[in-house]
């Protein structure tokens, strides 16, 4: 089946620094990718929709300048958390629609800002 | 707007017993319904989906789900639970016109030996 690879799986950074998370579709092309954030013991909240070759679409309440999304190719989307603060600590997950109707998810990235 | 409700935060079941994880949904058009499972610190794994056809859908690891249009439900079931089934389960819905998935709040399944 389709595979989405997300990297890194875990990152610890200092407050004020930026962190980049990569999401790759390994055996299919993804013109669209979705970025989710998951707080402990809570559901996935959609942050933004990444579109290859155009600007990302952000959900209400998500700061686009804080969470920079780039979808430079049909197999790669990146999320950069800029000037990270402890409240940005969370589990971030990307997904891409497959050939069928289901979505395929990356392994997730646990971000801890200290 | 699309929405999904998972009324139970946690379901406890003994190994070997049948399990049910509940899900109800609301969409404006025809629903695409999904169940995903999440293990600690991992992404989501696809279990099964309903698009059209038979109301009873069979998926991975012996799970199945029944689509009930009149009750707008899509409960996840398994005839005999395993300890290894313990995980977080998410129901999700997508309207036919959109790619975006809307997730329920998740149900933690705990299967005891």
CB spacing of A46 vs B49 below 8 angstroms:
no
Measured CA to CA, the distance from residue B70 to residue B45 in angstroms comes to 28
Phi, psi of B65 (to 5 degrees): -145, 150
pLDDT tens by residue, A4-49:
999 999 999 999 999 999 999 988 888 899 999 998 777 889 999 9
**Chain A to chain B Cβ contacts (< 8 Å):** 53
Q: Which of A73, A104, A59 has the alpha carbon at shortest distance from B45?
A: A104
Give the pLDDT of residue B98: 64
Structure tokens at A53: 């070759």
CB spacing of A101 vs B100 below 8 angstroms:
no
Measured CA to CA, the distance from residue A111 to residue A90 in angstroms comes to 5
Q: Is B110 on the interface with A (CB under 8 A)?
A: no
pLDDT tens by residue, B65-85:
999 999 999 999 999 999 999
Q: Which of A71, A78, A79, A80 has the alpha carbon at shortest distance from A30?
A: A71
Distance from CA of A42 to the nearest CA of B (A): 6
Residue given tokens 């933004």 in the structure block? A48
Give the pLDDT of residue A89: 95
CB spacing of B41 vs A97 below 8 angstroms:
no
pLDDT tens by residue, A42-95:
788 999 999 988 899 999 999 999 999 999 899 999 999 999 999 999 999 999
Confidence of residue A1 (pLDDT cuts 50, 70, 90): low
Residues sharing a CB contact under 8 Å with residue B65, sequence separation 6 or more, in sequence order: B33, B35, B48, B50, B56, B57, B59, B74, B75, B76, B77
CB spacing of A102 vs B46 below 8 angstroms:
yes
Residue given tokens 């313990």 in the structure block? B86
Give the pLDDT of residue A93: 94
């Amino acid at each position: 089946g389709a595979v989405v690879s997300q990297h890194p799986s875990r990152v610890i950074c200092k407050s004020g620094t930026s962190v980049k998370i990569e999401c790759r579709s390994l055996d299919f092309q993804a013109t669209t990718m979705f970025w989710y954030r998951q707080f402990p013991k809570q559901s996935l909240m959609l942050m933004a929709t990444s579109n290859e070759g155009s600007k990302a679409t952000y959900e209400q309440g998500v700061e686009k300048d804080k969470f920079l999304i780039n979808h430079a190719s049909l197999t790669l989307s990146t999320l950069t958390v800029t000037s990270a603060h402890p409240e940005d600590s969370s589990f971030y997950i990307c997904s891409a629609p497959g050939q069928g109707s289901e979505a395929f998810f990356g392994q997730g990235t646990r971000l801890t800002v200290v | 707007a699309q929405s999904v409700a998972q009324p139970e935060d946690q379901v406890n079941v003994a190994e070997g017993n049948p399990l049910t994880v509940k899900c109800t949904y609301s969409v404006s058009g025809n629903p695409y319904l999904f169940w995903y499972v999440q293990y600690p610190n991992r992404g989501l794994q696809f279990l099964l989906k309903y698009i059209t056809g038979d109301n009873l859908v069979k998926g991975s690891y012996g799970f199945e789900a029944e689509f009930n249009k009149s009750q707008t439900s899509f409960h996840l079931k398994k005839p005999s639970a395993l300890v290894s089934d313990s995980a977080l389960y998410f129901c999700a819905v997508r309207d036919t016109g959109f790619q975006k998935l809307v997730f329920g709040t998740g149900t933690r399944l705990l299967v005891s030996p």
